[in-house]
């Protein structure tokens, strides 16, 4: 449907080894969600007021740190749970999007929040990684929210977990979203797909093959730990969310001298926010201009 709506402006992707650009995957103490997905440990979890205060303080500290940098930065918020129902994440998205040295600020979200706040952001820099959870939100309501994003010119991808019950909703969504909106499909954790099943998902997301199998990564060059880092609320810096080794702290500057090319120490990498940075996969070319928010370059939906 409506594929004549102009696409949001695209700013160039961070060139990973050019200058001092740094991509940061930030995850604060927040660990609660307004949804109740059966496949998620954060379903309907509540954070107590103390944890919410700590999360807000940590985010404000992080935002101030980014604001004070003198080199290009991109940020992807990857919360445990849902961030955009909290005013401080919406505020941080707006604030960061308006900083000239921030190339991209993006967040993973279920899009349960209202969308009016996005009007305050610089939409040439902001993007949303939206996930559709069919058991949690009426189809029409979700689709209407996606249309609001398109009409507002908000860069976004939309995705779904590749569970058999989601196949029909995913097909319907692919048909109803504008051709310019990428609909990704994540392989469900632990699920083995037959070739026929994989073909059905690939018809919806031609890039499903990247998610279907975990990627053997041991010893391979990965940009994390050099031009990409994972940061937790207290400023602890790791190369990625999946490798526990600490390489420094954001706030005492100790991480900076630790940034360097590093091979992956894990056997496998099975999450998009990790393997997109695994160099041999070439996904910086596939997602050029949209690495953090998961939007392929020159995207147009399959007919």
For ligand SF4, the closer CB: 125 or 230:
230
CB of 109 to ligand SF4, least distance (A): 8
Residues near ligand SF4 (CB under 6 A): 33, 35, 37, 40, 42-43, 81-82, 110, 133, 217, 222, 224, 239-240, 242-243, 264, 266, 269, 274-275, 277-278
For ligand SF4, the closer CB: 144 or 175:
144
Q: In this structure, what token pair is assigned to residue 19?
A: 């200058």
For ligand SF4, the closer CB: 278 or 295:
278
CA distance 19 to 13: 13
For ligand SF4, the closer CB: 73 or 229:
229
The answer to whether the Cα torsion of 178, 208, 97, 284 is positive or negative is negative
Q: Are 21 and 73 in contact (CB under 8 A)?
A: yes
CB of 168 to ligand SF4, least distance (A): 19
CA distance 24 to 39: 26
For ligand SF4, the closer CB: 74 or 224:
224
Q: In this structure, what token pair is assigned to residue 116?
A: 């009016």
Q: Are 159 and 129 in contact (CB under 8 A)?
A: yes
Q: Are 156 and 127 in contact (CB under 8 A)?
A: yes
User: In the beta sheet, which residues pair with residue 160?
Assistant: 185
CB of 232 to ligand SF4, least distance (A): 15
CB of 73 to ligand SF4, least distance (A): 19
């Amino acid at each position: 449907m409506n594929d004549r709506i102009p696409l949001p402006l695209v700013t160039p992707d961070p060139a990973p080894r050019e200058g001092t650009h740094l991509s940061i995957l930030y995850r604060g103490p927040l660990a609660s969600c307004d949804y109740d997905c059966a496949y998620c440990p954060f379903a309907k979890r509540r954070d107590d007021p103390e944890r919410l205060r700590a999360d807000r303080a940590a985010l404000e500290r992080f935002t101030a740190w980014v604001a004070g940098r003198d080199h290009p930065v991109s940020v992807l918020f990857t919360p445990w749970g849902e961030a955009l129902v909290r005013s401080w994440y919406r505020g941080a998205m707006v604030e960061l999007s308006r900083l000239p040295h921030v190339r991209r600020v993006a967040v993973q979200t279920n899009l349960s929040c209202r969308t009016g706040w996005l009007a305050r952001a610089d939409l040439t820099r902001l993007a949303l990684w939206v996930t559709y959870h069919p058991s949690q939100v009426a189809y029409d309501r979700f689709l209407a929210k996606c249309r609001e994003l398109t009409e507002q010119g908000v860069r976004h991808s939309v995705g779904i977990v590749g569970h058999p019950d989601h196949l029909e909703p995913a097909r319907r969504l692919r048909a109803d979203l504008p051709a310019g909106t990428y609909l990704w499909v994540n392989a469900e954790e632990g699920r083995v797909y037959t070739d026929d099943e994989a073909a059905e998902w690939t018809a919806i997301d031609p890039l499903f093959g990247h998610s279907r199998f975990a990627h053997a990564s041991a010893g391979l060059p990965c940009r994390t730990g050099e031009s990409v880092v994972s940061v937790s609320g207290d400023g602890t810096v790791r190369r990625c969310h999946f490798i526990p080794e600490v390489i420094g702290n954001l706030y005492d500057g100790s991480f900076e001298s630790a940034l360097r090319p590093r091979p992956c120490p894990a056997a496998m990498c099975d999450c998009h926010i990790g393997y997109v940075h695994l160099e041999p996969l070439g996904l910086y070319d596939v997602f050029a201009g949209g690495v953090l928010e998961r939007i392929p370059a020159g995207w147009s939906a399959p007919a």
